[in-house]
């Protein structure tokens, strides 16, 4: 737990190479760190700073702005229940109360076994399927108290191991640009003319 | 497993196909709509081929002639936006706004999950036409499936030669880089999106001078377009501007995706005809939401995402036409309609939105940072029955500090009030501050009695002189 592993350093360099400026890779690399350790450690932020050319304070400054980055351990499964308008109109408050009593924790808390962290979230772009929630950013729609209990049972029994990766991994698929196919990052300092396909004629 | 009551599989949850022109959702009926194989079998990348067969300027002209209104909220025509870049400044970038997080909005996620190749093709056409040298596709952090589908589609598209060096054997070369966020609503604002893409806290920049088309990513001219806007381009490039403008009206051509949520019988995402479809069609129409649930009455609806002032039944005949909605006192925003029936606790409903914007304030401007928090606190107090009549006036006063002058609202026959048209004046850099106030102002203007019945009269303590 700490700095990025060899494999993740390789991935980090690949990600950095796609951007004209390395600092643009900060957020993707923070995700990589969170994927590795389940949360973002100080050592990882220092390491990311070295990789993108920023101080660890700058990396923390960026990281702390964004809701998804955690700086201390959370449960293996993070359940985010949406509480914005459409979900509220369809009973998300009641669902949150139910979730709290079923898990015996308050919003923001983690179960004693470290399995589940419960959070109140904002609109998840699934408003027509209210009330909804995400488990490690995988959706469940039109959730009733019963559905919620089933979900918790499944998480506890390990039935969703295959479907839902542990907290930290968001997308399980990565982009990969093959070396012979990619153009490479187009940095401002490397270009002074319009692109070749315009044939010197600027678009309008 | 994943419950899917919103529509019968293979439709994405909540999406309803209809017997209307389909410009961006034509593949949603296929279970494998997101694969390259299905895409190629259904006119995929034909728009790109058609575009590459013409000079870039001609493709740009076609997009301009089609009046493709931006679908991200502001409704600015894409072809015109592309023309705002300063002459002779290179390179230029495309940043795709897939940060969808405005309350009520649900369409870009569907487009990314269900038809990622269509979006990729749209990005390519935009880059070709406007001379953009690299594309960054920014997807909201919390959207795992959308990120996976777009990553897979990009990997497929690179392997097949649709993206990257010398696309389809032409001189056109561009990389599309998948970028993903980490949860912050305000990052959807285009200058904040650029800050975030540069690796910073996602705080909006001042416009002017930071109009992205002039000074955007790394200080270079940058086009920021919404996912749905770009998803329109393949169809347009295949069928031409005349076919595009034949759908909808002259000022609002084509279709748009609208999510209707809340207390309707059939909440869902619909691709509707722009300009002519009315809110009545949408909320009550058989092919759309089929009316209010449980036989209840309509109380109010938010017509264009959480930031929009509210409408009531008096505005049901307003059509999806920007100027019409503006004159009626609101806006169409991001295509999100939230419906409240007669059982709705109005102050509490307003609070769910105000709390959202107060929490999402980036803190850069005082009226938003302080004002939003104040609005939330006062409104909470009122909702909990602990407020006084003075609180109601204070809500409006705080609102004035964010948006001085008259704030837009709808007309209401019963109350005898006439509409104040959009837009408003504001003391903030972006629309988050005003958006915290919009629901409070609408609710107080249209449903003041619900607030009054909840507060106690402030007892004035008489000041008596201690000594004569
Ligand atoms: C606070 C705020 C949040 C926004 N969120 C989004 C968003 O999530 N997605 C989006 O496309 N546009 C969003 N916008 C609008 C963008 O700033 C920008 O206008 C839009 O992406 C331009 O694309 P278009 O011209 O294709 O519509 C937001 C604007 C503001 C002020
Ligand atoms: S209005 Fe609010 S969110 Fe927007 S820049 Fe100002 S403080 Fe930040
Ligand atoms: S309000 Fe819950 S998903 Fe939009």
- Minimal-distance CA residue to ligand 2 atom 3: B361
C-alpha span between B108 and B94 (Å, rounded): 17
Interface of A with B in 111-170 (CB under 8 A): 122-130, 134, 136-142, 147, 170
CA-B193 nearest atom, ligand 1? 17
Q: Is B431 in the pocket of ligand 1 (CB under 6 A)?
A: yes
Q: Is B454 in the pocket of ligand 1 (CB under 6 A)?
A: no
A129: nearest CB among B6, B130, B181: B6
Put simply, the answer to whether A26 touches B199 (Cβ < 8 Å) is yes
State which of B210, B361, B437 you would mutate to test the pocket of ligand 2, scoring each by most atoms of that ligand within 8 A of its C-beta: B361
pLDDT, average across residues B335-349: 98
* Banded model confidence at residue B10, pLDDT cuts 50, 70, 90: low
What residues does CATH 1.10.10.1590 cover in chain A?
6-71
Q: Are strands B134-139 and B175-180 parallel, antiparallel or unpaired?
A: parallel
> Å from A6 to nearest chain B CA?
22
* Banded model confidence at residue B288, pLDDT cuts 50, 70, 90: very high
pLDDT digits (tens, 9 = 90+) for B109-160: 999 999 999 999 999 999 999 999 999 999 999 999 999 999 999 999 999 9
Has residue A2 got a pLDDT over 90? no
Burial class (CB in 10 A: 0-12, 13-18, 19+), B465: exposed
The mean predicted confidence, pLDDT, of chain A is 96
Q: Is B103 in the pocket of ligand 3 (CB under 6 A)?
A: yes
Question: Do B261 and B339 contact (CB within 8 A), yes or no?
Answer: yes
A67 at B interface, C-beta within 8 A: yes
Q: Is B101 in the pocket of ligand 1 (CB under 6 A)?
A: yes
Put simply, the answer to whether B90 touches A173 (Cβ < 8 Å) is no
The mean predicted confidence, pLDDT, of chain B is 95
C-alpha span between B318 and B324 (Å, rounded): 7
pLDDT computed for residue A200 by the predictor: 73
pLDDT computed for residue B329 by the predictor: 98
pLDDT digits (tens, 9 = 90+) for B27-67: 998 989 999 999 999 999 999 999 999 999 999 999 999 99
Chain Cα centroid distance, residue B413: 29
Put simply, the answer to whether A128 touches B141 (Cβ < 8 Å) is no
Q: Is the dihedral of CA A85, A86, A92, A94 positive or negative?
A: positive
Cut 0.90: pTM above it: yes
Whole-number Å distance, alpha carbon B351 to ligand 1 midpoint, is 23
> Å from B198 to nearest chain A CA?
4
Has residue B8 got a pLDDT over 70? no
> Å from A14 to nearest chain B CA?
12
Q: Is B216 in the pocket of ligand 3 (CB under 6 A)?
A: no
pLDDT digits (tens, 9 = 90+) for B386-443: 999 999 999 999 999 999 999 999 999 999 999 999 999 999 999 999 999 999 999 9
CA atoms within 13 A on the CB side of A162: 2
Put simply, the answer to whether A204 touches B57 (Cβ < 8 Å) is yes
pLDDT computed for residue B467 by the predictor: 63
Q: Is B433 in the pocket of ligand 2 (CB under 6 A)?
A: yes
Main-chain dihedrals φ then ψ at residue A54, nearest 5 degrees: -140, 160
Whole-number Å distance, alpha carbon B180 to ligand 2 midpoint, is 22
Specify the DSSP element, H or E, that contains A2. Answer: none
pLDDT digits (tens, 9 = 90+) for A35-44: 999 999 999 9
Has residue B260 got a pLDDT over 60? yes
Percent over 90 (pLDDT), chain B: 93
* Banded model confidence at residue B14, pLDDT cuts 50, 70, 90: confident
Q: Are strands A133-135 and A77-82 parallel, antiparallel or unpaired?
A: antiparallel
Q: Are strands A77-82 and A116-121 parallel, antiparallel or unpaired?
A: parallel
Q: Specify the fold of A6-71.
A: Arc Repressor Mutant, subunit A (1.10.10)
What residues does CATH 3.40.30.10 cover in chain A?
77-157
Put simply, the answer to whether B56 touches A201 (Cβ < 8 Å) is yes
Q: Per DSSP, what are the bridge partners of residue B77?
A: B69
Closest ligand to Cα B222: 1
- Minimal-distance CA residue to ligand 1 atom 2: B189
C-alpha span between B5 and A204 (Å, rounded): 48
Burial class (CB in 10 A: 0-12, 13-18, 19+), A7: exposed
Q: Is B85 in the pocket of ligand 1 (CB under 6 A)?
A: no
CA-B428 nearest atom, ligand 2? 1
Has residue B3 got a pLDDT over 70? no
For A45-54, A140-149, A150-159, B455-464, which range has the lowest pLDDT when averaged over its residues? B455-464
C-alpha span between A27 and A36 (Å, rounded): 14
Q: Are strands B255-262 and B268-273 parallel, antiparallel or unpaired?
A: antiparallel
Closest CA to B437 of B334, B361, B326, B386: B361
Which whole-number Å values give the CA distances from B5 to A122, B2, B8, B10, in the listed order? Answer: 22, 9, 7, 12
B415-420: long-range pairs with CB below 8 Å, 24+: B415/B446, B417/B445, B419/B327, B419/B328, B419/B329, B420/B329
B323 at A interface, C-beta within 8 A: no
Residues contacting residue B285 through CB under 8 Å, at least 6 positions apart: none
* Banded model confidence at residue B7, pLDDT cuts 50, 70, 90: very low
Interface of B with A in 40-79 (CB under 8 A): 55-57, 60-61, 64
Burial class (CB in 10 A: 0-12, 13-18, 19+), B1: exposed
> Å from A155 to nearest chain B CA?
12
pLDDT computed for residue B4 by the predictor: 39
C-alpha span between B304 and A22 (Å, rounded): 37
pLDDT computed for residue B11 by the predictor: 60
pLDDT, average across residues B83-88: 95
In the structure encoding, which two tokens stand for residue B234, read together?
């393949």
Whole-number Å distance, alpha carbon A126 to ligand 3 midpoint, is 5
Has residue B5 got a pLDDT over 50? no
A188: nearest CB among B219, B344, B349: B219
CATH superfamily entry for domain A77-157 = Glutaredoxin (3.40.30.10)
B96 at A interface, C-beta within 8 A: no
B370 at A interface, C-beta within 8 A: no
pLDDT computed for residue A99 by the predictor: 98
């Amino acid at each position: 737990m700490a700095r990025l592993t060899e494999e993740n350093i390789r991935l980090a360099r690949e990600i950095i190479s796609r951007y004209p400026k390395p600092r643009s890779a900060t957020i993707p690399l923070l995700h990589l760190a969170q994927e590795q350790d389940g949360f973002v450690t100080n050592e990882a932020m220092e390491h990311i700073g070295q990789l993108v050319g920023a101080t660890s304070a700058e990396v923390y400054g960026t990281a702390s702005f964004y809701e998804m980055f955690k700086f201390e351990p959370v449960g293996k499964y993070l359940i985010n229940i949406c509480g914005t308008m459409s979900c509220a109109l369809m009973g998300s408050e009641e669902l949150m109360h139910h979730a709290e009593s079923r898990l015996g924790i308050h919003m923001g808390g983690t179960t004693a076994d470290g399995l589940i962290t419960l959070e109140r979230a904002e609109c998840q772009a699934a408003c027509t399927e209210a009330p909804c929630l995400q488990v490690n950013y995988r959706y469940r729609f039109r959730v009733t108290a019963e559905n919620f209990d089933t979900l918790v049972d499944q998480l506890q029994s390990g039935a969703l191991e295959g479907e839902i990766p542990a907290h930290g991994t968001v997308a399980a698929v990565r982009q990969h640009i093959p070396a012979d196919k990619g153009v490479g990052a187009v940095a401002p300092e490397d270009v002074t003319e319009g692109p070749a396909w315009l044939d010197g004629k600027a678009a309008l | 497993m994943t419950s899917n009551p919103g529509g019968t599989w293979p439709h994405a949850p909540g999406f309803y196909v209809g017997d209307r022109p389909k410009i961006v959702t034509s593949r949603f009926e296929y279970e494998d709509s997101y694969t390259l194989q299905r895409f190629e079998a259904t006119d995929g990348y034909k728009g790109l081929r058609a575009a590459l067969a013409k000079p870039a300027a001609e493709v740009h002209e076609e997009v301009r002639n089609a009046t493709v209104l931006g679908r991200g909220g502001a409704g600015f025509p894409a072809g015109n936006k592309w023309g705002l870049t300063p002459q002779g400044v290179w390179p230029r970038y495309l940043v795709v706004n897939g940060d969808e997080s405005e309350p009520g909005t649900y369409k870009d996620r569907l487009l990314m999950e269900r038809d990622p190749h269509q979006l990729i093709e749209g990005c390519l056409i935009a880059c070709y036409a406007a001379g953009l040298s690299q594309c960054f596709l920014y997807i909201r952090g919390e959207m795992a499936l959308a990120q996976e589908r777009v990553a897979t589609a990009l990997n497929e598209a690179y392997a097949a030669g649709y993206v990257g060096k010398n696309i389809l054997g032409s001189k056109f070369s561009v990389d599309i880089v998948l970028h993903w966020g980490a949860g912050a609503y305000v990052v959807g604002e285009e200058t904040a999106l650029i800050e975030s893409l540069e690796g910073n806290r996602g705080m909006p920049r001042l416009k002017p001078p930071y109009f992205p088309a002039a000074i955007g990513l790394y200080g270079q001219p940058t086009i920021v377009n919404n996912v749905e806007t770009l998803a329109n381009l393949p169809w347009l490039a295949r069928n031409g501007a005349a076919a595009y403008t034949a759908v909808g009206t002259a000022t609002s051509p084509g279709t748009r995706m609208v999510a209707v949520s809340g207390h309707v019988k059939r909440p869902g995402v619909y691709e509707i005809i722009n300009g002519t479809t009315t809110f009545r069609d949408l909320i009550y129409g058989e092919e759309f939401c089929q009316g209010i649930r449980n036989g209840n009455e309509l109380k109010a609806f938010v017509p264009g995402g959480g930031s929009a002032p509210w409408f009531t039944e008096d505005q049901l005949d307003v059509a999806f036409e920007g100027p019409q909605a503006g004159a009626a006192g609101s806006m169409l925003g991001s295509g999100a309609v939230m419906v409240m029936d007669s059982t709705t606790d109005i102050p509490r409903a307003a609070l769910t939105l105000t709390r959202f914007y107060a929490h999402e304030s980036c803190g850069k401007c005082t009226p938003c940072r302080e004002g939003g928090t104040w609005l939330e606190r006062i409104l909470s107090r009122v909702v909990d029955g602990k407020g006084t009549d003075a609180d109601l006036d204070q809500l409006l006063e705080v609102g004035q500090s964010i948006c001085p002058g008259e704030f837009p609202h709808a007309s209401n026959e019963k109350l005898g009030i006439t509409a104040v048209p959009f837009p408003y004046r504001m003391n903030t850099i972006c629309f988050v501050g005003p958006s915290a106030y919009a629901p409070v102002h609408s609710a107080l203007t249209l449903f003041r009695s619900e607030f009054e019945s909840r507060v106690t009269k402030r007892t004035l303590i008489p000041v008596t002189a201690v000594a004569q």
